[in-house]
Amino acid sequence: MADDAIRCDACPVLCYIKPGRTGSCDRYGNHDGKLVRLDPHVVLDRAVERGDSVVPFLERGRDWDGTLVSHGETFVTAIGAGTTYPDYKPAPFIISSQVEGIDMVTVVTEGIFSYCGVKVKIDTDRHLGPECNAVRSQGEAVGHVTTSEYGSQMLSLGGVRHLTGGSRHEGTATCEALLNLCNGKAVELKIDNGAKVVVQAGKPPVVDGAQEERMRVGCGSATIGMFAKQWFGKVDDVVVVDDHITGVLSEHQAGKLLGVPETGIKLKGRRSTPGRYFQVAEPGTSWGGTDIEDPLTILGKFNARKAWPGLRLLMVSTTGEHHAYFELGEDLKPKEKELPASLKESVARIKENCEPALCTVLFMGGAGGSLRAGVTENPVKLTHSVRDALTRVTCGGAPVYVWPGGGITFMADVTRMPQNAFGYVPTPALVAPIEFTLRLADYAALGGYVGNVRPLSSIAAAEGQRRVTARADNPWPLESAEQKKQ
Amino acid sequence: MRQRAQIRLLPDGRRLHLQDGPIDLIVEAFGAPREIELAYRAAGARFITVLDELCSELPHLRRACLPEQAWPKGSVARRMVAAVMPYATQCFITPMAAVAGAVSEEILAAMLSVAELSRAYVNDGGDIALHLSADESFVVGMVERPDRPSLFGTTTLQAADAVHGVATSGWRGRSFSLGIADAVTVLANRAAAADAAATIIANAVDLPGHPAIVRVPACEMAPDSDLGARPVTQDVGALALKDVNQALNAGAETSRLLLKMGLIQSAALNLQGETRVVGAVGESRRIATPVRERGLVHA
């Protein structure tokens, strides 16, 4: 094997690439013994021809000039930067790069976050567990069930009390669960008096072994409103079973407007307004997030003065996953029949209108005094600079939402960061990347370590980089505030 | 982010782009919106592990295919071996000669197993697996020079033609060729079979020892090439018309043999502006109607 060939580890093909040549993908090449990504050179034509979305530095229309990094088209993330906690020294990398003639500084550090956690949104109508109950991983409490949102259940995991405020094992279990969730791995969580749920960022939740497929189209009442016209004339009454609000077509405003006659149907549960019922059953993981397996258990006897033999009744869940069709016998008792073709479409339509159910994981952390001290001699000035939008905060290059109020507490979608962006220390605490980007002049003004600023090219020459393609849907971190406004 | 593979709709909102390492697919399905969605989901789900599966057996797949050897485990790898096996006793060929076609086939199969589609194609850099239901057709364009895309011919495929694979091979393409054809396009009943046959025919379009042809051992350019030290074509100078015809005749002879053996349905061979067609698919749908006239056409 020739010495000058290099092994590309960008994908499992692991090509040996000779100098001046590319690997089998035409995307990575050997440039003077270094592995470089060649998109600007090679893939640009293809990408443009296809009308493809391309990485940000291509959008600037500059050709690859053969150097490893060229000006503002490369952004150094904090992943793998290391940290100097406790921060009596400047952050490991303070990088300057030129953007449109303005010197930009990126202060790159991996923060050790003791004050951190994840907010998890699980798209499901199934009842995962009572609010405030503990969420466990490896038997240890790592967080709790918080609010129900529209079509979703929120969990709040981690936080300093679980990480360092409890037993050693609780801290380690919490740290491991957070690390895996942030790095996009699947984590099994058990909720006290509730469900077992497998959570993975960007993937459907698995609740008690069943993979969730879709979010409900709306609550039972909303579903009646949306589909009343499609049902009218094809069926005499429809019950949309929902743990929150179960809807009944003949009693609902939407049915009344269409002139659907009364059917003498009787729902169990607490009537809210006409055709809308709370608590028709216990919460669970079956029909519409209730515990019922047989939908007839939520119906009382039909009123003999209003119902008639042959009355047609559709019962369906808010996702269309469960449905049953009945006709009343001479005794006015519902008998299950095959769903008529004319109703199949509307059930399918409910299913179609449900969005794919996903788990989403937002990392939330606060940049403490010592981390900020790694950026500037006067930490509060950094906070003010972030507030004044002079400094942009990113997390592994991903955009963040900085909470209003004091400090720098931010949230970021873990799926928008490069792979394995997170690490941990045995404290236990999570290590997360954080970058502060601002103009060099502003950096000097807030007491930055100007003497430690290094040009981007000096990082490029160093060993141990991992170059990744920027995500097209992330804003480019080096874009200045002026450019953003344009 | 989490997976290496990129799975996304192209900005036209109709076609799916799947990319992982060297695999780059453009997928399009036609049918009811719900069916298309199902098909695209299935394509994405199948796609994410394909490269890992292939790489786990890569050393095996890079070796010359021999009739008595053990079969690989992966379903894509098995499609590759099945496609090159007919040539194994005759010449040097590795399963890698059919990798692009085999990947296309696998993804198309995943789509068709879950969805009712009127038409669909999976295009892996010119190696295409396609599906046509009754009364549907596809128009396939052919390009001789990937660096200067312009069509040298088109062909219309219909369901009755039973063509499920289209593949193109040539020295200007992404993989190495032992021959000098600019492009050989093959229609066959399966994409992997078309891919393997295009490689074989493109290798056969050749002028051994001709001074205008620059050949370099494959391993000098790509140390881990499956072709080892075999000389692969790196440049072809301007050739006299009689030389062009001689090279094309050699390729056409191989094509006719493959046609007789039922390995292909049609092949269009292109070298320096001259085209040969062997076999025809359907009536009046002869492959390769030259779009541009380039001098005299010699029989």
The C-alpha of A183 sits at a distance from chain B's nearest C-alpha, in angstroms, of 8
Do B166 and B266 sit in the same domain of this protein? yes
Tell me how many domains chain A contains. 4
Among chain B residues, the shortest Cα distance to A180 is held by B2
Rounded to a whole number, what is the distance in Å from the CA of B107 to chain A's nearest CA?
19
Domain-located, residue A34: yes
Q: Are residues A35 and A62 in the same domain?
A: yes
Which of these three, B116, B131, B146, is where a domain ends?
A: B131
Q: Is B220 on the interface with A (CB under 8 A)?
A: yes
- pTM to 2 decimal places: 0.46
Number of inter-chain CB pairs under 8 A, A vs B: 73
Q: Which residue in B38, B49, B20 sits closest to A356, CA to CA?
A: B38
Nearest chain A residue to B54 by CA: give it.
A13
CA–CA dist A434, A429 (Å, integer): 15
Output the pLDDT for position B13: 77
Quote the domain boundaries for residue A232: 220-352
Please give the residue of chain A at the shortest CA–CA distance from B1.
A415
How many C-beta atoms surround the C-beta of residue A414 within 10 A? Answer: 24
Examine residue A358 and state whether it is found in any structural domain, yes or no. no
Residue A434 lies in a domain: yes
Look at residues B177, B181, B179 and name the one whose alpha carbon lies nearest to residue B218: B177
Do B240 and B274 sit in the same domain of this protein?
A: yes
Note whether A51 contacts B55, CB cutoff 8 Å: no
Q: Is residue A279 part of a domain?
A: yes
User: How confident is the model over A311-328, as a mean pLDDT?
Assistant: 94
Q: Are residues A438 and A452 in the same domain?
A: yes
Among partner residues B8, B22, B223, which is closest to A2 by beta-carbon distance? B223
- Any CB–CB contact under 8 A between B166 and chain A? no
Listing DSSP states for A165-211 in one string gives SS-HHHHHHHHHHHHHHHTT--EEEEETTS-EEEE-BTS--EETTEE
Nearest CA in chain A to B53: A12
3-state secondary structure of A439: strand
Residue A122 is assigned to a structural domain of this protein: no
Q: Which residue has the higher pLDDT, B115 or A22?
A: B115
The CA distance from A162 to A143, in Å, is 7
Q: What is the pLDDT of residue B298?
A: 29
Q: Please check whether residues A254 and A328 belong to one and the same domain.
A: yes
Same domain, A253 and A348: yes
What ipTM describes this predicted complex? 0.79
Do A339 and A388 fall into the same domain? Answer: no
Closest CA–CA distance from residue B191 to any residue of chain A (Å): 20
- What is the structure's pLDDT at A278? 92
At A439-479, the pLDDT tens digits run 887 888 887 777 777 766 665 444 345 556 666 666 766 66
The number of domains in chain B is: 2
B8 touches chain A (CB under 8 A): yes
Residue pLDDT, tens place only, B60-75: 999 988 878 889 999 9
Contact A49, A80 (CB under 8 A): no
Query: Under an 8 A CB cutoff, do B51 and A11 touch?
Result: yes
Dihedral angle at the C-alpha atoms of A2, A3, A4, A7, nearest 10 degrees? 90
- On whether both B19 and B46 belong to a single domain, the answer is yes
Distance from CA of B274 to the nearest CA of A (A): 27
Determine contact: A419 vs chain B, CB below 8 A.
yes
pLDDT in tens, A85-140: 333 344 545 555 555 556 666 676 667 787 899 999 999 878 899 999 999 999 99
A17 lies within 8 A of chain B by CB: yes
Are A454 and A94 in contact by the 8 Å Cβ rule? The answer is yes
Q: Which domain holds residue B207?
A: 134-299
A477 lies in the same domain as A380 = yes
Answer whether A466 touches B (CB < 8 Å).
Answer: no
Most confident of A28-42, A214-228, B48-62, B128-142: B48-62
Query: Do A402 and A459 fall into the same domain?
Result: yes
Does the beta-carbon distance from B2 to A419 stay under 8 Å? yes
CB distance from A211 to chain B under 8 Å?
A: no
Q: Is residue B104 domain-shared with residue B162, that is, in the same domain?
A: no
∠ at Cα A237 (A332, A222), nearest 5°?
Answer: 145
Q: Is the pLDDT of residue B265 over 80?
A: yes
CB-CB: which of A2, A14, A415 is closest to B2? A415
Residues of B whose CB is below 8 A from A2: 223
pLDDT at B76: 97
Of B95, B113, B131, the position where a domain reaches its end is B131
Largest CA distance in chain A: 93
List of chain A residues whose C-beta atoms are within 8 Å of the C-beta of residue B149: 49
Beta-carbon separation of A25 and B21 below 8 A:
yes
- Asked if B51 has any chain A CB less than 8 Å from its own CB, the reply is yes
Answer yes or no: do A184 and B2 touch at CB < 8 A.
Answer: yes
Query: Which chain A residues have a beta carbon less than 8 Å from that of B125?
Result: none
pLDDT above 60 (res A277): yes
Q: Are residues A14 and A49 in the same domain?
A: yes
B174 interfaces chain A, CB cutoff of 8 Å: yes
Last residue of a domain, one of B131, B159, B181: B131
B94 and B171 in a single domain? The answer is no
CA-nearest residue of chain B to A183?
Answer: B2
Residues of chain A with C-beta less than 8 angstroms from the C-beta of B34? 348, 352
What DSSP designation does A3 have?
Answer: T
Helix axes B99-114, B75-84, angle to 10 degrees: 130
Q: Are residues A468 and A439 in the same domain?
A: yes
Are residues A251 and A225 part of one domain? yes
Residue B68 corresponds to which tokens in the numbers above?
A: 């008595």
Q: Give the chain A residue nearest B56 (alpha carbons).
A: A12
Whether residues B224 and A416 touch (CB distance < 8 A) is answered with no
Q: What is the pLDDT of residues A155-179, one digit of tens each?
A: 999 998 998 888 888 998 999 999 9
Residues in chain A within 8 Å Cβ distance of B223: 1-2, 5, 16, 18
**B57, pLDDT greater than 50:** yes
Say yes or no: A462 and A414 in one domain. yes
Which of A415, A191, A232 is CA-nearest to residue A314? A232
- Whether the CB of A23 is below 8 Å from some CB of chain B: the reply is yes
